[in-house]
Structure 1
Amino acid sequence: MTLAEFFSCSLLAYGAPLMMFAMTVANDPVRIIIMIAAAFGWLLSFLCSSVVWYAVVPLRSYLAFGMTFAIIFQEFFRYGTYRLLRKTEAGLKEISENHDIGTNKLEMAYVSGLGFGTMSGAFALVNVLADSIGPGTLGLQSGSEYFFVTSAAMTLCMILLNTFWSVIFFSGCDEKNYFKITWVVGSHFFVSGLSLLNSRHVYAATIIPSYIVLIVTALTAYKSAGGTFQSFVQTFRRRT
């Protein structure tokens, strides 16, 4: 039972991002490099927030304190990734076998966002998955039987959100549209703040609003990338 739980939660959290990587990133070495660089940027943001958490001893026991600085540093490094890619996109286009890379500037935003989200998801769930193997499971004497599946669902949500957030953030920086940037930062704080409710086992109050934000963010990212309802219908008809 525990092994089935491990694989089901793993596929729930990482199945969709793995398919996104295989279909849109894995066939281009430059995209892989961009994704790895963005993942490294997330690691640096995590390191910086850990240093702040370690330095401020009186507030270590407050989860909200660490979360706040983690989000601030993540968004700072998201902006740093944006600046780096904009300065190097000409060079990346020259060394890439796909010379169309960079034609759509938000293509690299999507790839870097996927790297950001994948690294975030790996750190969020790997210890939980290790515990899910056993011995035993939650829900009998203490804890909630929904803990593992909720953690996997929230990890998937955050991976996808980070991907879409980068598209919106890059678009906002290019257009100097501060509403888009505010939406990214604000929704990041909102969804992360909702995750604090998990300590009270109020999982529905976390998951439902988070996935509503995910849907709105996905539609905004689609529109920011130049998508329209007509193009969506045409693509859907070709695939079906």
Structure 2
Amino acid sequence: MGAAVFFGCACIAFGPALALCLLTVAGDPLRVLLLVAGKADEGLVTLSEDGRPPLSVKQMAYVSGLSFGIISGLISVINILADSIGPGTVGIHGDSPHYFITSAFLTMALVFLHTFWGTIFFDACEKRRYGTLGLVVTSHLVTSGLTFLNPRYEASLIPLFLLTLSTGAWAFFTAGGSLQSIQACLSGKKKEDDSVMVYSALQLPAED
């Protein structure tokens, strides 16, 4: 039972992040390097023959945010996953029996949030929108405060995922996404202009 809880919670916590890595990062060596480094490096500019950065600001924001989210998730949940193997029974002394699975969903949300925050924060720094920077910091503090709703850990899931969805929509439009790009993605159109919008929606602009 311990192994099942361990692998189940690990897949919930990091399955979506792994999917994002495979779909949007693994195909580009520079994005992989940025994911591993966890930050945008000015040395990447020297890899471009024409003197321009080989990765756009939006790409660097997305990959850096995803990297920081994964690292933050690992740090926050690694000990919990280790304890899930056993020995012991969760809730035997009256605590919440949903502690492990709630922690897994919280970690999944935090990975997404760091990815979204990275996109919004980079854009705000580039355009000097200090009010947006303050909102990002505030939402970070609110997220941290929601984790204090213990021992009713599951009570924090609904407001946290509402915050995740709203922040994701904010990051989507900040990255250049639009309702038209969503429609184009869902309809599977192959037009060039739709392709550009779909790549923009993924925060990975189409290359020439």
Query: Which TM class, normalised by the smaller chain length?
Result: 0.7 to 0.9
Tell me the residue number matched to 1:3.
3
Looking at structure 1, the residues matched to 49 and 21 of structure 2 have their Cα atoms a distance apart, in angstroms, of: 23
1:94 Cα deviation from its structure 2 partner: 4.4
| 2:42 maps to 1:90 | no
| 2:74 maps to 1:157 | no
1:100 Cα deviation from its structure 2 partner: 8.7
- TM-score normalised by the chain length of structure 2: 0.83
1:21 Cα deviation from its structure 2 partner: 0.7
Looking at structure 1, the residues matched to 115 and 49 of structure 2 have their Cα atoms a distance apart, in angstroms, of: 25
- Out of 196, 200, 206, which is 2:148 matched to? 196
1:196 Cα deviation from its structure 2 partner: 1.4
Tell me the residue number matched to 2:18.
18
Looking at structure 1, the residues matched to 48 and 112 of structure 2 have their Cα atoms a distance apart, in angstroms, of: 26
Looking at structure 1, the residues matched to 108 and 77 of structure 2 have their Cα atoms a distance apart, in angstroms, of: 10
Looking at structure 2, the residues matched to 233 and 222 of structure 1 have their Cα atoms a distance apart, in angstroms, of: 14
1:141 Cα deviation from its structure 2 partner: 3.1
Looking at structure 2, the residues matched to 232 and 173 of structure 1 have their Cα atoms a distance apart, in angstroms, of: 26
1:136 Cα deviation from its structure 2 partner: 3.0
In structure 2, give the amino acid aligned to 1:112: S
Which ranges of structure 2 fall in alignment gaps of 5 or more residues? 190-208
1:101 Cα deviation from its structure 2 partner: 3.9
> RCO (CA 8 Å, sep 6+): is it higher in 1 or 2?
1
Looking at structure 2, the residues matched to 28 and 114 of structure 1 have their Cα atoms a distance apart, in angstroms, of: 15
- 1:38-187 aligned at under 5 Å gives the runs 38=38, 81=39, 85=41, 87-94=42-49, 101-102=54-55, 104-187=56-139
Which ranges of structure 1 fall in alignment gaps of 5 or more residues? 39-80
Aligned residues: 188
In structure 2, give the amino acid aligned to 1:91: T
- Out of 141, 162, 166, which is 1:216 matched to? 166
Q: How big is each residue's C-alpha offset from its partner over 1:169-209, in whole Å with a ceiling of 9 and x where there is no partner?
A: 001111112232112111000100111123xx222431111
Q: How big is each residue's C-alpha offset from its partner over 1:98-142, in whole Å with a ceiling of 9 and x where there is no partner?
A: x9942x421110000011001000111111011101123202234
Tell me the residue number matched to 1:72.
none
Classify 1:94/1:2 alpha carbon distance in 2 versus 1 (closer, same or farther; 3 Å).
farther
Matched position secondary structure for 1:106: helix
Classify 1:181/1:197 alpha carbon distance in 2 versus 1 (closer, same or farther; 3 Å).
same
| 2:161 maps to 1:238 | no
8 Å CA contact 1:132–1:148 kept in 2: the answer is: yes
Tell me the residue number matched to 1:73.
none
Q: How big is each residue's C-alpha offset from its partner over 1:74-115, in whole Å with a ceiling of 9 and x where there is no partner?
A: xxxxxxx5xx54x445324449xxx9942x421110000011
Matched position secondary structure for 1:31: helix
After superposing on structure 2, the runs of 4+ consecutive aligned residues of structure 1 that deviate more than 6 Å are none
Matched position secondary structure for 1:197: coil
8 Å CA contact 1:17–1:114 kept in 2: the answer is: yes
Looking at structure 1, the residues matched to 157 and 136 of structure 2 have their Cα atoms a distance apart, in angstroms, of: 18
Looking at structure 2, the residues matched to 180 and 88 of structure 1 have their Cα atoms a distance apart, in angstroms, of: 28
Tell me the residue number matched to 2:197.
none
8 Å CA contact 2:45–2:53 kept in 1: the answer is: no
Tell me the residue number matched to 2:34.
34
1:32 Cα deviation from its structure 2 partner: 1.6
Higher helix share: 1
